[in-house]
Structure 1
Amino acid sequence: MRTLAAWTTTAAVALLGGAAHAQTPSQNTDLQTAITAYAAYHSDVSELRANTPSNANALETALDRVGRHNRDALTRGWIAYGAQTAAQSPAFVQGVRDAAAYYGRDAVIWAVTVDPSYARGLRGGQEATRMLLESAQADSQRIISVADRYQELAYSIQRQRWANAVAPGQNARVQRIRSLGREGAPAEALPSSVAPRLTVATLSVQPANDPTAYGGRRFWDSVRGGDQVVEVASTPAVATRANVTRAEALDRMAAVAALQALDAIDTNQSAVTRLISDPRSRDCIEMAQLQLYQCMSAARFRYENAFCLGQHGLRDIGTCIGAVGQPDAQAMTPIPAAARGGGRD
């Protein structure tokens, strides 16, 4: 278990900086509101998967679906979703509560809000990290599988008259998609039936055992319902480890999960708002959206818009999410025969 004593000076400085930041009015101080934005994106991914554009109007609808998500809201929603996923780890929750019993509840709350990396260093942090990586990998694969479909579609519809025609008013179309991204998804973007499934108490579900539970590999498929299931999301996860260049997102998820384990979300709302606003993830999603606008600006034919949708509106976003993990080379390396007992003594 990590100690609190080593941080006395540096943490105090960081806390002052965090407090100053927390005084800035927030657009989203409610964890559930943040998660709704991420759920709305996955709802649109489900719709994009279920419906194949067969005419110009249908393609316009698909472009609006992928473009109407605000980068900040999408970032906060993903981090918040990960936080509630980590709060389903029995080992991690117990580790947080053990630390609170040893150091004091207020001390642990202070620690995770000052240095988010503290939470994953607690006992049970490895289990929480594994759950977060598996969840991110599944969500990434789900989005990228739909991206594959739209990029293949872009090639297959080139022979159709409506798709290989010059897209009229392309500049206005790009500006429309930009405006949708600034405004964010409207309230009706998420079906009302989904909302009850987005609220989960600490240790109330078991995503490791039930892939359709909150945080599980097939949660978003189960939310969609019916026969629309992305098979790639149900395949065994590839062994991964945290990507050090993006591990801050995992730290932030775990820090908020620690606050949830201590029933400290409501009393530390400004800290929660700050923690779920991960700058690296936000920058990655912003770049994906900028690439979408640039791709569409260069597009001439309608089928090219379908390609831009798949590559930047979906694939790049999925890559941003999956980039928190990377293949674990050590886990993938075969065990030498000698180590298995098959070699000479």
Structure 2
Amino acid sequence: MRPSLSRGLSAALIVITLAGCATRSAPPQRQAQRPSPPGGGYVDVGLAGQASAFEAYTRRAAAIDPSFADPAEIGQRLRTAAGYEPRQLEAGMIAYAALAAMQEPGFVAAVRANRDVARRVAADPNAALGLPGATAAAARANAALARRGEALAAAGQRVRKASYSVQHQAWSRARISGPAAAERLAAVKQAAGYRADPADRARLSAAIAEGGRRGGASPVVARGVAVAALTVLGQDGAARSLMQEPRSGQCLRIAKLNYHQCLAAAGTHYEDIYCLGLHAMADPGRCVVEATRPARRAGL
């Protein structure tokens, strides 16, 4: 038996230590007013807060266990996977990419040596890709995003497959109807949005430090590199205008809409598991992976 559903689609503080930046020019006044970590480094509260929303959601959702023993477990995991708001996750992706790009010392040094690029980068995010070290910074950002998206998508496929195997257990085929069905959907909708955890700062720092490089400057990666450059220069206001990317934002919104529609149509517990795996995990995971790929050109 197959799930009979369509397959459509606070702020945390973090210290980002930049290796090789022991000798550098004096920062602009705005940066000098910020707290400095022992031994040097760069502190940014807003950027890290946005990146934490992305890191926390992808980590928590990817950790969902594909084994299910009863409806109570399903309900809890349905809410865990609903823990993102599309626009917040869209900005979080770009912030996460920016923090990864800032781990490239050569890029950071080049930004500090070219302070006049701020205006160009604010007007055109792709301008940051022409800076020395930007290719390596983009590769770091690409790899960082891809890791999160691939892990989430793979976990979602495991849960989706469990919606088939769990049907051997009679409780999974029980019908969900009436007030119980409405309450379950309402609980999922209320779960949306990032809720900070005291340990998120350390988890974000550890995730960014994983490193790795992967080629390709997608629109999201390009914005991440641009935001990194502007943040290093203390141009936080200009960076805020780059925290959206239409293609990726639309992908995340469709995934969330499909999740809600799927649950609204589901009539059994195993169908809930299917909705969870496909639309709440695999779909947003694929959105993140797709966000690392260059935009397709018209006609291709």
TM-score normalised according to structure 1 size: 0.66
Give 5+ residue unaligned stretches, structure 1: 1-28, 200-211, 218-235, 328-345
> 1:215, 1:288 → 2: CA distance?
29
Structure 1 residues 169-248: aligned runs within 5 Å: 169-181=180-192, 184-187=193-196, 190=197, 192-198=198-204, 214-216=208-210, 241-242=216-217, 247-248=218-219
- Work out the percentage of aligned pairs sharing the same amino acid: 29
Q: CA deviation at 1:65?
A: 0.4
Partner of 1:284: 251
Query: Does the 8 Å CA contact 1:154/1:303 hold for their aligned counterparts?
Result: yes
Structure 1 residues 116-195: aligned runs within 5 Å: 116-168=125-177, 169-181=180-192, 184-187=193-196, 190=197, 192-195=198-201
Q: Kindly indicate whether residue 216 of structure 2 is the aligned counterpart of residue 249 of structure 1.
A: no
Query: Does the 8 Å CA contact 2:231/2:239 hold for their aligned counterparts?
Result: no
Partner of 1:331: none
Query: Does the 8 Å CA contact 2:94/2:243 hold for their aligned counterparts?
Result: yes
Structure with bigger gyration radius: 1
Flag the 1:122–1:32 CA change in 2: closer, same or farther, 3 A: same
Give 5+ residue unaligned stretches, structure 2: 1-44, 295-300
TM-score normalised according to structure 2 size: 0.75
> 1:142, 1:158 → 2: CA distance?
25
- Tell me which of 111, 114, 126 is aligned to 2:120: 111
> 1:120, 1:178 → 2: CA distance?
39
Partner of 1:41: 57
For residues 207-264 of structure 1, the C-alpha deviation after alignment (integer angstroms, 9 at most, x for no partner) is xxxxx652526xxxxxxxxxxxxxxxxxx98x7534xxxx2211210011112333x1
Partner of 1:23: none
Partner of 2:232: 261
Query: Does the 8 Å CA contact 1:291/1:312 hold for their aligned counterparts?
Result: yes
- Tell me which of 82, 86, 93 is aligned to 1:67: 82
Tell me the secondary structure at the aligned position of residue 199 of structure 2.
coil
> 1:75, 1:145 → 2: CA distance?
20
Q: CA deviation at 1:111?
A: 1.6
Query: Does the 8 Å CA contact 1:240/1:326 hold for their aligned counterparts?
Result: no
Number of aligned residue pairs: 248
Task: State the 4+ residue runs in structure 1 displaced beyond 6 angstroms.
Answer: none
Q: CA deviation at 1:155?
A: 0.8
Partner of 2:285: 318
Query: Does the 8 Å CA contact 1:174/1:297 hold for their aligned counterparts?
Result: yes
> 1:120, 1:165 → 2: CA distance?
55
For residues 78-101 of structure 1, the C-alpha deviation after alignment (integer angstroms, 9 at most, x for no partner) is 211110100111232233233x1x
Aligned-residue Cα RMSD (Å) equals 2.4
